[in-house]
Amino acid sequence: MTQAIANGRNGQNGYHVDTEPESSSISASSSNASEYGVEGTNGITNGTGNLTLNGNGNGNIRDRMQRKKSSPMMPSFMVSAPGKVIVFGEHAVVHGKAAIAASIALRSYLLVTSLSKSRKTVTLKFPDIDFDHSWRIDELPWAIFQQPSKKKYYYSLVTEIDQELVAAIQPYLADVSPDKPADVRKVHQNSAGSFLYMFLSLGSPSFPACQYTLRSTIPIGAGLGSSATIAVCLSAALLLQLRTLSGPHPDQPPDEARMQIERINRWAYVYEMFIHGNPSGVDNTVSTQGKAVMFQRTDYSKAPDVKPLWDFPELPLLLVDTRTPKSTAHEVAKVGRLKDTHPKLVGSILDAIDKVTQTSAELIAEDDFSTEKEDSLRRVGELMNINHGLLVSLGVSHPRLERVRELVDHQGIGWTKLTGAGGGGCSITLLKPGVPREKLARLEEQLDEEGYQKFETTLGGDGVGVLWPAVLKNGTVEDEEGGMEIDQEKFLNAQGNDGVERLVGVHGGMPGEREGWKFWRVESNPDI
Ligand SMILES: Nc1ncnc2c1ncn2[C@@H]1O[C@H](COP(=O)(O)OP(=O)(O)O)[C@@H](O)[C@H]1O
Ligand SMILES: C[C@@](O)(CCOP(=O)(O)O)CC(=O)O
């Protein structure tokens, strides 16, 4: 049940009391407002049992709002989300088949800084892609987003992008990066459009002025889900600013944590839909939840089936970036066209990929499966090779990916498949046990000479995390008692990926956990 409560100027402040069907026990104000000592700007709580409505839905609320004190600014905070590899099932997953994906240690980091009320602007600062733009909040097209037939809430399940709303955003993209080359400008406008769609859907004209500064250690457009990490970071940040998330905190019951993750994931998917058109949602799901998942979306009007694979093995993987840019939308559309032209044939290739995914899930669930056993690794490796062959037949490989197979598989070093959309991007190799060190060193040299980038990464880390407030102990002279505040300048000045990791990383560039970052942990819930 949803009761939208206007403050007398229908929808002007976007105040609403939401009783989420599947979550009526979780309050919109939740524990974090008090936990973090934040008095919000636009939250009216439910779940407290003391909020009543009169006939026109605004009486008591209006009284209270008139009495509402001016609220202090939110502290700066950070959100982080991991990239992913698809181990089995990319492309087939767009057509309703299962895929297995796992999070990786490379992550995006978003710093949210509040501005004084007089500023009234919202800013995106994405230095990795040289994008910086501000909008005046009160000039944005709120009216159309808040029409009763269009209005969405933090818990809404949005499964398609509304083209009328997209059209309403267009004028606000016109002055985005006017001096950049057309291709760069398109990327910036796409980022801006996705953000505005989510901001306007969730926010209100009274949303606090703020800046979103993003840095990422994930190569862009390489098949490691970089766009999904941004989607997840922005979704979590907005929902936190609206105080519609509880936690994360260490004692949080797993089913409450699951609900928070579900909310973040739903809105991250909206961002991904805007950027990609027809994404399966596997990237944002694994980025939100972390670890590894078996994912399937048979009906695009419903939420996907997501089965966490808590015991996903720590496979010895080599991740290689071809450094050849690709477009996910382009590769997905190519497969779609091939399917339209040869429905039966492509249908059976997609079925075969599904079979590979299912077989691998069964294999790694076997009691005697072990990453120490050659036979176990060989069977997974063979499935990866089959999956790659099927992707080749769908036309989504690339000569640079085939060259990795030549250098690695044909030398007996491992089993390789492309990961993500293909057409460039990255490959993953499952390394054969017992390959001589010299052989591996030669491979690394050769990859380096040919302009490939190699990543050593672990699979299955934490999903979306929050650092609230943005204060960390870095063991430097800048640390005051209680830590060092991460401000925008420090964040922007961090040198390269290592600098970002050292300054704000969830592990601080070291093994183990760093104090400060918190995660919604859902492991112990057997139902998801
Ligand atoms: N570090 C970043 N900063 C800003 N935007 C980014 C960043 N990384 C990715 N993006 C956004 O994501 C898009 C790439 O997404 P996509 O093609 O799906 O690649 P990937 O395979 O990495 O997910 C970029 O065009 C840009 O809009
Ligand atoms: C090809 C696809 O299965 C994965 C795309 O991954 P990426 O954008 O290359 O990280 C598309 C999707 O699942 O939406």
SS (H, E, C) 203-220: CCCCCCCEEEEEEECCCC
Specify the DSSP element, H or E, that contains 318: strand 317-321
Sheet containing 453-455: which strands, arranged edge to edge?
414-419, 426-431, 317-321, 453-455
Q: What is the mean pLDDT of residues 228-245?
A: 97
Mutate which of 103, 104, 129, 133 for ligand 1 pocket (most atoms within 8 A of beta carbon): 129
Lowest average pLDDT, out of 6-15, 219-228, 478-487, goes to 6-15
Q: What is the pLDDT of residue 342?
A: 98
Q: State if residue 77 touches ligand 1 by the CB under 6 angstroms criterion.
A: no
Scored b (16 or more CB within 10 A) or e, 260-299 reads bbbbbbbbbbbbbbbbbeebbbbbbbbbbbbbbbbbbbee
Percent of the chain with pLDDT over 90: 72
Q: State if residue 226 touches ligand 2 by the CB under 6 angstroms criterion.
A: no
Q: Give yes or no for residue 22 having a pLDDT over 70.
A: no
**Candidate list 18, 283, 321, 354, residue with the active-site label:** 283
The residue behind tokens 């690794």 is 377
Tell me whether residue 283 is one of the annotated catalytic residues: yes
User: How many whole angstroms separate alpha carbon 347 and alpha carbon 345?
Assistant: 5
Q: State if residue 295 touches ligand 1 by the CB under 6 angstroms criterion.
A: no
The residue behind tokens 């390959």 is 435
Ligand 1 atom 17: the closest Cα is on which residue?
A: 221
User: How many whole angstroms separate alpha carbon 39 and alpha carbon 69?
Assistant: 10
Mutate which of 103, 270, 280, 285 for ligand 2 pocket (most atoms within 8 A of beta carbon): 280
- Summarize pLDDT for 371-405 with one digit per residue, the tens: 989 999 999 999 999 999 999 999 999 999 999 99
CATH no. of 77-305+461-519: 3.30.230.10
Q: Where are the domains of the chain?
A: 2-67, 77-305+461-519, 313-455
Q: State if residue 280 touches ligand 2 by the CB under 6 angstroms criterion.
A: yes
CATH no. of 313-455: 3.30.70.890
Q: Give yes or no for residue 111 having a pLDDT over 60.
A: yes
Residues near 521 by beta carbon (within 8 Å), at least 6 away in sequence: 248, 252, 254, 257, 462
Q: State if residue 200 touches ligand 2 by the CB under 6 angstroms criterion.
A: no
User: How many whole angstroms separate alpha carbon 402 and alpha carbon 272?
Assistant: 29
Q: State if residue 335 touches ligand 1 by the CB under 6 angstroms criterion.
A: no
The residue behind tokens 């059209």 is 167
Residues recorded for the chain: 528
Q: What is the average pLDDT score of the chain?
A: 85
Q: What is the pLDDT of residue 34?
A: 33
pTM above 0.90, yes or no: no
Residue 319: beta bridge partners? 428, 455
Q: State if residue 421 touches ligand 2 by the CB under 6 angstroms criterion.
A: yes
Mutate which of 84, 227, 276 for ligand 1 pocket (most atoms within 8 A of beta carbon): 227
Q: Give yes or no for residue 239 having a pLDDT over 90.
A: yes
Token readout for 346 is 């492509």
- CA of 14 relative to ligand 1 center, distance in Å: 31
CA 461 to chain centre: 14
User: How many whole angstroms separate alpha carbon 366 and alpha carbon 42?
Assistant: 51
Give the ligand whose atoms come closest to the C-alpha of residue 421.
Answer: 2
* Cα atoms in the 13 Å half-sphere on the side-chain side of 1: 6
DSSP 8-class letter at 53: -
